[in-house]
Structure 1
Amino acid sequence: MHETYDVIVVGAGHAGCEAAHAAATMGSKVLLITMNMQTIAQMSCNPAMGGVAKGQIVREVDALGGMSGIISDKSMIQFRMLNRSKGPAMWSPRCQSDRNMFANEWRLALEHNANVDFWQDTVSQLLVKHNRVHGVRTDMGLEFKAKAVVLTNGTFLNGRIFIGEKIFGGGRTAERATTGLTEQLVEIGFEAGRMKTGTPPRIDGRSLDYSRMEEQPGDENPGKFSYSTTKPLSTQRSCWITYTNSDVHETLKEGFEKSPMFTGRIKGLGPRYCPSIEDKINRFADKDRHQIFVEPEGWETVEVYVNGFSTSLPEDVQLRALRKIQGFEQAKMFRPGYAVEYDFFPPTQLKHTLETHLVENLFFAGQINGTTGYEEAACQGLIAGINAHQNAHEKDSFTISRSEGYIGVLIDDLITKGTEEPYRMFTSRAEYRTLLRQDNADLRLTERGHTIGLASDSRLQDVQKKKQTIADLMDNIRVTKVKPEEINSWLGDLNSAQLREKSSLYGLIKRPEIGLTEVDYLLQFLPEYEPEVNTETIEQAVIEIKYEDYLNRERTNAEKISKWENLEITADFDYDRLKALSFEGRDKLKKQRPATIGQASRISGVSPSDISILLVYLGR
């Protein structure tokens, strides 16, 4: 082992894997320390990547040069583009994954990175001197030195598992918890809290009657996450949908008196948008059924994930209730669902680089920051890994603004607003979501990823070529005109106003009744149209045309706000000298130390008048 590493990453979940790979790809010598080498990139909950807003994050990670998109493409068993019936800003890619293949592909990617070393052990203490981290100490008593450390401990910090009245120490089933780190960080001055998450039971798929469920196949022409040369699926596995019923609910209620949630044994707050089944029937008592997604765990295994049935009730209650769901009458359980309660550190204690305020070169990423979800963890790991490398080599920090990506929205929300429950990304959280679509993440971010040495030269060349192709296609559409006799019959079939004179394709595409499927017909009139132009490139050109006014408005708003957004506030700014600041505003500003006026304006408790006072003082 090396005497000193550039970066040590603690934990090999989704955040840790992205952090280690990013820092190593950029040139740092990285040590990845994990409690179990066999659970690298384990999908602890559902075997899937992406979803509403989450799919946008995966594509942004890929555009920057991260690996989650590539790994997902190599291990998916089904692909669906969600929200196709809505506008393009809402389209969200999602895949069902082969759980074992996903973990194997991640491990292979890390092992093929020559700058990554591995060590199986538990980190119990940080080596901190003069408010700067210098390495870690493990349970084996070994010390590893580093210029920067990234903590991605997931649910393992003082983790406790709950199944009915049973309580076990652990961060994941059959895996023990980590102790010592929380206590040390609190002693240093960090604030810590408790959160809760859960997972459903796993079922033997051979015991299910799929004929009694609704089939949910993948897309007819499946897409993919990565902008690289990964291949889309040629065959897919279906998922299935069924529902709970009043009998299921009554059976579940029989276990409420032993529920750790209702008896108060669990103190941490769980995810509001992914509640347990007992929480659903308690909070939504008027609902007589809830949707259940039956998801295969891989190509070869018979194990099934029961999405929508997360629970910590006694295992016998879980099984009896499951067997009253249509199609589950003969269900056999592999393992019961459970809840996990764990330590987290309110993210207002971090900079936008995910470095802590209190300890230099110490970074937090993933559930330790109060988030939930693989995708949210992965993007934090990527940003933490990038900045750990930058710090280790005395280079400029790297951040993404709210107008550049969902990653920027997520981190800014965490740093400025904090979170009292597991944070999950939604499209509604992004004020510029029309600009931050899943289809254009490479156009937005690949150049930035290339500048810091993460995205490859070939990736940048592909993006530059794509930009030119889109520009050429749009120019061609603008200048090409069609005659009424060439198009009026087709327009009539669409109940669209007919032409009286020559009209440009540009104007026709803007018509609301002409969607993406109809555009293919119009493109045949282009004098230099190349049918081999891929569908995604055509979609981007058409979206730019159809939503031109909205996009321009958002770009203008983003530019206006950026004037304040990027107005810097020095790290040692003395807020006490501004007597006109509100007491709460001054307290929050001193505690969170925003780097810009934009960040300060989004801190809960900092009023518009406080911002005005700051602007006056700063000469604006």
Structure 2
Amino acid sequence: MGKLSGKEQPIDCRFDIIVIGGGHAGCEAACASARMGCTTLLITSDITKIAHMSCNPSIGGIGKGQIVREIDALGGYTARITDATTLQFRMLNLSKGPAMHSPRAQCDKRLFSKVWIDTLENTPNLYIIQDTVLNILENGGECKGVKCLYRGEIMASRTILCGGTFLNGLIHIGLKHQPGGRIDEPGVENLSDQLEALGIKRLRFKTGTSARIDARTLDFTQFTEQPGDAEPQHFGYYAEPSPYSCPSGENRTDKTTSEKSNPSPTPSLYSAQDATPAPPTLPQLSCYMAYTNRETHRVIQENLDRSPLYQHVIEGRGPRYCPSIEDKIHVFAGKESHPIFIEPENSSGYLYYLNGFSSSLPLEVQAEALRTIKGFEHVHIVRPGYAVEYDYFDPTMLLHSLESKVIKFLYLAGQVNGTTGYEEAAAQGLLAGINAALSLQGKPPLTVDRQTAYIGVMIDDLVTKGVDEPYRMFTSRAEHRLHLRQDNADARLMELGYRIGLIPEERLTRMRTKYERIGELVKWLEQTSVNPLEMNGWICTQHSAPLTQQVKAYQIALRPEVKLCALMQQMEMLGKIQSAYEQEVIAGAEIQIKYGRYLEKEREEMQNESRLERIGIPSWLNVETLQSVSIEARQKIGRYQPRNLREFASIPGVKVSDVRGLLIAINRKTRRGE
């Protein structure tokens, strides 16, 4: 369907795509589909809470930071909005190898939402209304639109559900509970009931958040300061301005206090065709760390009878990797303390978030427990922590495009698929928006595989394995994490983003030039010779063994203790460098040099997996009759509907013998011409 003229019928009546929910998934979905030329309607229950950070106002972290960079490489906006609203940036795990490096940013919560709202309001083809969706309009197994509380029926060719925690949401503080998707925000009661009646399996999860506290009532002298990186980086891929910038600390020039304390003007987001340099940063703020103690634990233990979790009022399972303080005290009873991270919520206010102190205990118990911690003796709680239970849907009932297998033209993204986290939601929203638009245009869906992106790992895990607890991305979930690094997401995905129309040609050209430069630098190091006389004095300062003969500079760069950035500075002093190289190019070359053997081994493994992926499971194959495949594996083929042998092999419970048996059956029947 093409664009509507507005003369043919009111714009309120019909759209190409409807997106339900204005959270992180909904924002990315709506922006993507609108930028791809589809008239898109975003429906949210509160237009002032779009892209609201319900929990910690941070983006990124282990595994999550890689996803955000992948979103940027595909043409999504989360990375750039994060950069425009960052209060603190840290690259985590720098003491480990590059596969583990993960960017994380603490954001200005209010500004993050504002910049997203500005972005949505200035996106062509995108319309926003404040309303509540009561149910979808379904006919003949197809989604035809939605029915809203105030506007009634609105028709659309494709619909994307990004309901977050609002579907039958239930808020718990102590033994009190009330309906809601967030505290003091009503939930949606009917929609998930309808979807279950239509055949989509509904389940229940819970999540929670910490108290927000008044920083003016804390004694920060009792805490351990956690400043951000002295040379903060960005999530978005921008033009790199500074040759020989050394993240490890060499030759840094710190910003002055006045530069740090003067906030930049409120940033606006860049157009879809932008080639903007890195946005100006807000004043960079520190986070702080405190610890619970035995007295804290005593207060919590003595009040577990007032916890909805331990009184079995809450039925849904919570995230294992983000437990409540009640869980920590109960499960790790032998630990004398647990860390709490005190993190700012905005650049100018006094509201702070307590990372590590999520709780659904009564307000007075939360206050009593916090006041046992050094520095919290006079703490004032602005808003208590709480838990929220909500409905989600079995993600194995989705295609890899995130379209429902049960209801055609209905896509699901975000926490409704059983995930947790802004980053996971935003990535799903982006893919759902892209695929809804591609479907409307009569094009095949964009499916990102496990070898290409963490986004592909996540969606494949959801669709083929399902979830029994809220799904969170970790680097350990990826089989090829050395290949799926945060620094090379542009190389892996930007060509895809360009082909679907979300990455402008200028950005693609910059990316190609960057990797050409990396190749040039590696080749130059392989061809450039150095001798002991000119290098040994410097090599000793690097705590490395002196040279005994002339070698190629590449051989020095291979040494673990030698940083390529520092080596390039030395080569420049010797007059051997003809052109300067940007820091991003140097970092990329260093990874290629130092991890070349391991990258090659991963490539071989990926090629072997690709062979399995190329062997599709024919629709005409009657797996129920295959004696060479176990009964369990045959049942799971029917449940998960894998498209190829690689997907079949990744299903839990499927053995190598099952894969071999299925392969033999496919080959035998193919040779017979059956």
CA distance, structure 2, for counterparts of residue 216 and residue 74 of structure 1: 21
Q: Which residue of 2 aligns with 1:120?
A: 130
Q: Which residue of 2 aligns with 1:80?
A: 90
The more displaced of 589-598 and 288-297 is 589-598
Residue 77 of structure 2 is aligned to residue 29 of structure 1: no
Q: Which amino acid aligns with 2:579?
A: E
Q: How does 1:567-586 map to 2 (within 5 A)?
A: 567-570=615-618, 574-586=622-634
- Count matched residues: 619
Residue 139 of structure 1: CA displacement? 1.8
CA distance, structure 1, for counterparts of residue 534 and residue 379 of structure 2: 61
Residue 523 of structure 1: CA displacement? 4.0
Q: Which residue of 2 aligns with 1:221?
A: 231
SS in 2 for 1:5: strand
Residue 92 of structure 2 is aligned to residue 92 of structure 1: no
Q: Which amino acid aligns with 1:562?
A: S
Q: Which residue of 1 aligns with 2:611?
A: 563
> What are structure 2's unaligned runs of at least 5 residues?
1-10, 239-276, 669-674
Instruction: Select which of 436, 454, 458 maps to 1:406.
Output: 454
Cα RMSD, aligned residues only: 1.5
Residue 400 of structure 1: CA displacement? 0.8
Q: Which residue of 2 aligns with 1:318?
A: 366
Instruction: Select which of 370, 385, 406 maps to 2:418.
Output: 370
Q: Which residue of 2 aligns with 1:161?
A: 171
Residue 25 of structure 1: CA displacement? 1.1
Residue 564 of structure 1: CA displacement? 0.6
SS in 2 for 1:485: helix
Instruction: Select which of 469, 474, 496 maps to 1:426.
Output: 474
Is the Cα contact below 8 Å between 2:218 and 2:376 reproduced in 1? yes
Q: Which residue of 2 aligns with 1:470?
A: 518
Q: Which residue of 1 aligns with 2:537?
A: 489
Instruction: Select which of 655, 666, 671 maps to 1:607.
Output: 655
Q: 1:47 to 1:144 in 2, by over 3 A?
A: same
Q: Summarize deviations over 1:545-587 as a string: whole Å, max 9, x none.
A: 1110001111111111111123223567543343443222122
Q: Which amino acid aligns with 2:576?
A: P
The more displaced of 86-95 and 485-494 is 485-494
Residue 561 of structure 2 is aligned to residue 551 of structure 1: no
Residue 595 of structure 1: CA displacement? 1.7
Q: Which residue of 1 aligns with 2:397?
A: 349
Residue 393 of structure 1: CA displacement? 1.4
Q: Which residue of 2 aligns with 1:499?
A: 547
Residue 433 of structure 2 is aligned to residue 394 of structure 1: no
Instruction: Select which of 568, 576, 592 maps to 1:527.
Output: 576
Is the Cα contact below 8 Å between 2:307 and 2:361 reproduced in 1? yes
Q: Which amino acid aligns with 1:418?
A: G
Q: Which residue of 2 aligns with 1:298?
A: 346
Residue 458 of structure 1: CA displacement? 1.6
CA distance, structure 1, for counterparts of residue 610 and residue 575 of structure 2: 39
Residue 233 of structure 1: CA displacement? 3.2
Is the Cα contact below 8 Å between 2:565 and 2:583 reproduced in 1? no
Q: Summarize deviations over 1:111-157 as a string: whole Å, max 9, x none.
A: 11111111111111111111111111112251111111111100011
Q: 1:219 to 1:16 in 2, by over 3 A?
A: same
Residue 281 of structure 2 is aligned to residue 271 of structure 1: no
Is the Cα contact below 8 Å between 1:435 and 1:551 reproduced in 2? yes
SS in 2 for 1:381: helix
Is the Cα contact below 8 Å between 2:226 and 2:286 reproduced in 1? yes
Q: Which amino acid aligns with 1:527?
A: K
Instruction: Select which of 474, 486, 507 maps to 1:438.
Output: 486
SS in 2 for 1:149: strand
CA distance, structure 1, for counterparts of residue 38 and residue 94 of structure 2: 41
Residue 235 of structure 1: CA displacement? 3.6
Is the Cα contact below 8 Å between 1:254 and 1:317 reproduced in 2? no
SS in 2 for 1:12: coil
Instruction: Select which of 77, 97, 102 maps to 1:67.
Output: 77
Is the Cα contact below 8 Å between 1:296 and 1:305 reproduced in 2? yes
CA distance, structure 2, for counterparts of residue 495 and residue 534 of structure 1: 25
Instruction: Select which of 60, 78, 100 maps to 1:50.
Output: 60
SS in 2 for 1:425: coil
Q: Which amino acid aligns with 1:254?
A: E
Q: Which residue of 1 aligns with 2:432?
A: 384
CA distance, structure 1, for counterparts of residue 68 and residue 301 of structure 2: 38
The more displaced of 610-619 and 287-296 is 610-619
Q: Which amino acid aligns with 2:184?
A: A
Q: Which amino acid aligns with 2:221?
A: S
Is the Cα contact below 8 Å between 2:88 and 2:285 reproduced in 1? yes
Residue 495 of structure 1: CA displacement? 3.8
SS in 2 for 1:438: coil
Residue 507 of structure 2 is aligned to residue 459 of structure 1: yes
Q: Which residue of 2 aligns with 1:309?
A: 357
Identity among equivalent pairs (%): 47
The more displaced of 212-221 and 464-473 is 464-473
Residue 443 of structure 1: CA displacement? 1.1
Is the Cα contact below 8 Å between 2:565 and 2:586 reproduced in 1? no
Is the Cα contact below 8 Å between 1:56 and 1:406 reproduced in 2? yes
Instruction: Select which of 210, 223, 229 maps to 2:220.
Output: 210
Q: Which residue of 2 aligns with 1:513?
A: 561
SS in 2 for 1:268: coil
Q: TM-score, normalised by structure 2?
A: 0.90
The more displaced of 249-258 and 231-240 is 231-240
Residue 618 of structure 1: CA displacement? 2.4
Q: Which amino acid aligns with 2:617?
A: I
Residue 435 of structure 1: CA displacement? 0.7
Residue 519 of structure 1: CA displacement? 3.1
Is the Cα contact below 8 Å between 1:195 and 1:269 reproduced in 2? yes
CA distance, structure 1, for counterparts of residue 28 and residue 111 of structure 2: 17
The more displaced of 138-147 and 549-558 is 138-147
Residue 158 of structure 2 is aligned to residue 109 of structure 1: no
The more displaced of 606-615 and 375-384 is 606-615
Q: Which residue of 1 aligns with 2:193?
A: 183
CA distance, structure 2, for counterparts of residue 322 and residue 572 of structure 1: 63
Q: Which amino acid aligns with 2:98?
A: P
Residue 528 of structure 1: CA displacement? 3.7
Is the Cα contact below 8 Å between 1:476 and 1:526 reproduced in 2? no
Residue 109 of structure 1: CA displacement? 0.9
CA distance, structure 1, for counterparts of residue 65 and residue 583 of structure 2: 19
Q: 1:571 to 1:137 in 2, by over 3 A?
A: farther
CA distance, structure 1, for counterparts of residue 194 and residue 638 of structure 2: 23
SS in 2 for 1:437: coil
SS in 1 for 2:358: coil
Residue 418 of structure 2 is aligned to residue 359 of structure 1: no
SS in 2 for 1:196: strand
CA distance, structure 1, for counterparts of residue 290 and residue 567 of structure 2: 37
Q: 1:571 to 1:222 in 2, by over 3 A?
A: farther
Residue 5 of structure 1: CA displacement? 1.4
CA distance, structure 2, for counterparts of residue 572 and residue 301 of structure 1: 63
Is the Cα contact below 8 Å between 1:78 and 1:233 reproduced in 2? no
Q: Summarize deviations over 1:463-493 as a string: whole Å, max 9, x none.
A: 1111111111111111111011011122233
Instruction: Select which of 121, 142, 155 maps to 2:152.
Output: 142
Q: Summarize deviations over 1:319-366 as a string: whole Å, max 9, x none.
A: 011111111111101010000001111211111111111111111111
